[in-house]
Amino acid sequence: MNKILEILKDIKPECDFENSKDYISDGFLDSFDIVTLVSEIEERFDVLIDALDILPENFMTAQTIADVVAKNGGKIE
């Protein structure tokens, strides 16, 4: 989970991801941020995220992102 938060902060350092309950409605992540995030996750977790999992609702919190990574075979520590 920490690794995901690290990536998020790296992409958008100005956003308070720890205290947000919904990155999408809080305006922290738009579709282009999600694309950047997926690309970083694939590189750092050595996974391929299924295209049909790239939906805004799967990127609302670090937990939902972790769930997507795990679903696609990534190891969440």
Q: Does 30 bind another protein (CB under 8 A)?
A: yes
Q: CB 57: neighbour CB atoms within 10 A?
A: 8
Which one of 1, 6, 35, 73 is in contact with another protein (CB under 8 A)?
Answer: 35
Q: Does 31 bind another protein (CB under 8 A)?
A: yes
Q: CB 54: neighbour CB atoms within 10 A?
A: 15
By CB under 8 A, the count of residues binding another protein is 18
Span of 1-9, 15-23, 50-58, 63-71 interacting with another protein by CB under 8 A: 50-58
Q: Does 25 bind another protein (CB under 8 A)?
A: no
- Radius of gyration (C-alpha) of the chain in whole angstroms: 11
3-state secondary structure of 4: helix
Q: Does 6 bind another protein (CB under 8 A)?
A: no
DSSP structural state of residue 37: H
Tell me which amino acid residue 7 is: I
Q: Does 27 bind another protein (CB under 8 A)?
A: yes
